[in-house]
Amino acid sequence: MNERSFCCYATVRTHAATSTFGHACDLEASWSLYLAPEVVRKDKLTRGAPKDLGYRHAGGLVTVAAGFHERTENGALGDGTKASYDTGKTMIAPMIDACVEFLEDFVGRKES
């Protein structure tokens, strides 16, 4: 893991409203509220209903391959009701800046 990816992971941990995040969580919903608020159905955002996978630490410290029907009752992880435009902006704006910097460097290179 490089410095920037570690930094991004730390950012996710800092802004996540719950210890569980993933599909339809507060982070994904926040990113969508910032990038494309017109596609977010706020009335459908819900708190995840995770299932017990039957292994100690599964879904926390240990990632276990499992389909969504095995992981959650309602398809959501985390808590989408805690999503906010401000959280989305705080997280996405630096990512966009990093992409722009990369593309400027990439496009600016001359063939030797």
Rounded distance between C-alpha atoms, residue 90 and residue 35, angstroms: 12
Rounded distance between C-alpha atoms, residue 98 and residue 84, angstroms: 22
Structural domain for 37, as ranges? 3-108
- Whole-structure pTM over 0.85, yes or no? no
For residue 62, which phi and psi values (nearest 5 degrees)?
Answer: -120, 130
Q: pLDDT digits over 34-91, tens only?
A: 999 999 999 999 999 988 888 877 666 777 788 888 889 998 988 999 999 999 999 8
pLDDT at residue 4, as a whole number: 54
pLDDT at residue 71, as a whole number: 85
Q: CA nearest 67: which of 81, 53, 80, 57? A: 53
Output the domain CATH number for residue 74: 3.40.50.10310
Q: Cβ distance 76 to 25 under 8 Å?
A: yes
pLDDT at residue 22, as a whole number: 81
**Total domain count, the chain:** 1
Q: pLDDT digits over 8-28, tens only?
A: 667 777 887 777 778 888 999
